[in-house]
Amino acid sequence: MGAPLSRRDFLRGRGPTKAKVVPPGFLGTRPDVCSSCSLCRERCPSGIIVMDHGLPALDFTRGECTFCGECRTHCPESENLFAGPVLLSHVVEIGGGCLALNGVDCQACRDHCPTDAIRFRPRVGGPFLPEINEDACSGCGACIGVCPVAAVAVKAAKEFADA
């Protein structure tokens, strides 16, 4: 069983994290190399890195990833733990609990998306409906923590899902 669910998260409809999201470029397949020093967590200007069983993970309920690379820069094992470009291997998806999908006007996710990957399509007789342009989504998580009902989650990006 995972960590207990806080009252705040319960009331906001947030459940346990489904999949662990790692910092940009982090090779999560090398847990034997990570010393769990927490320098990545300490140096993250957004404060979204948490340690999960001794390995860094991103908690988008705390904020968004700005792709600054500070986690990589301050990691003493960066040459073994980080590779490739500074990007994330996921995009976001909007679940059925979305207020707009349930007749309530809300566009918080769109308002916080720095890449304009979330748009709202007009519909007759109800609030606009959310649509995600996965090609424009950077996976930064800016839309996740601002959703009042935790309806935004991450999923593997097309180019990583096929790999």
17 lies in a domain? no
117: Cα within 13 Å, side-chain hemisphere: 20
56 located within any domain? yes
Examine residue 69 and state whether it is found in any structural domain, yes or no: yes
User: What is the pLDDT tens value at each position of the chain, 163 positions in all?
Assistant: 344 555 665 566 555 445 578 899 888 766 678 889 999 999 999 999 999 888 899 999 999 999 999 999 999 998 888 887 888 889 999 999 999 999 999 999 999 999 999 999 998 888 999 999 999 999 999 999 999 999 999 998 775 455 4
Residue 38 lies in a domain: yes
Q: Is 5 among the domain residues?
A: no
| Domain that residue 116 falls in | 91-161
Domain shared by 99 and 140, yes or no:
yes
